Structure 1
């Protein structure tokens, strides 16, 4: 085993688990996906000749594992979707801004599953996992122009569904390649 890839995998685990949770919304399934992705990454020894950034390569492995699982579930006729449990709102005085932000986040979280899968997945990669447009294009196997237009449509649709301004969703989002 290459020690560099082992160290990089350990550092990537929180992001991998967060992405896996975003894909499947089930902690046990997410853990299984991350474990299998780590096994495959270790067996491959790294991104190899593809030149893909390490995180994009790991997210691609996770995504492919998730798609394989979905295909298996479709042929088995079994489907499960577990709703996220909302955390308690902060109650300390003077936290009005935090409460407003938390409520807005909850509306966005409730609206996110209503987006088409391709838009939802892209939003998660770019806005949550902070992949560049180029890295997201690599993970999804689409041109960068498709990433940019799909992301713009996703942000607008999410803002409509959540009842928030589109500017709110743009804050902190990385841009470019």
Structure 2
């Protein structure tokens, strides 16, 4: 399970935009996974199961209380960690892309993260989010359209 902690944390951050909430989501996910280890199906992907648990915990949390807007948001520049090998231009471009992705509606942002960042298949994303695969494809298409229309001047690049 430890090899998935960073990926779970990134997903928690994508959902919540708050580092401390992402930490809590990962902790709750690990606890629930350990408590329900007997429900894990041998031969299936552990990462997919853990993402499903985290997503379920997040949905339960937003149902039980409203997430306060404007508090604890992570600046896109702080989220990306670069070593000395990357030049400033790459850092700026990555920050701009992350800001554009973070500006997407939550449903689109979530499928973009799971499909493109985590590399999950559309079927796996649909399973994690408990939505039809066509909805995943539709949300990704809408996100790509929005991102392609967003440029430095606000127009198509």
Partner of 1:84: 74
Distance 1:127 1:63, change over 3 A: same
Unaligned runs of 5+ in 1: 1-8, 165-177
TM-score, with length taken from structure 1: 0.72
Query: Which stretches in structure 2 are left out of the alignment for 5+ residues?
Result: none
- Taking structure 2 as the reference length, what is the TM-score of the superposition? 0.80
Counterpart-to-counterpart distance in 1, 2:57 and 2:101: 22
1:160 corresponds to which of 135, 149, 155? 149
Using the TM superposition, give the Cα deviation of residue 146 of structure 1 relative to its aligned residue in structure 2, in angstroms: 2.1
More moved, 22-31 vs 81-90: 81-90
> Is the Cα contact below 8 Å between 1:108 and 1:162 reproduced in 2?
no
Equivalent residues of 1:89, 1:99 under 8 A apart:
no
Matched, 1:16 2:8: yes
1:172 aligns with none
Shift of 1:105: 1.6
Query: Using the alignment, how far apart are the partners of 1:45 and 1:122 within structure 2?
Result: 26
Residues 65-84 of structure 1 mapped to structure 2, 5 A cutoff: 65-74=57-66, 79-81=68-70, 82-84=72-74
Deviation at residue 39 of structure 1 after TM alignment: 0.8
Q: Give the counterpart of 2:93 among 89, 93, 104.
A: 104
- Shift in Å, 1:122: 0.3
Identify the match of residue 30 of structure 1 among 8, 16, 22: 22
Please tell me the root mean square deviation across aligned C-alpha atoms, in Å: 2.9
Corresponding residue of 1:135: 124
- Alignment coverage as a number of residue pairs: 149
Instruction: Kindly state the Cα deviation for residue 160 of structure 1 after the two structures are TM-superposed.
Output: 2.0
- Check 1:34–1:46 CA distance in 2 against 1; reply closer, same or farther (3 A cut): farther
Larger Rg: 1
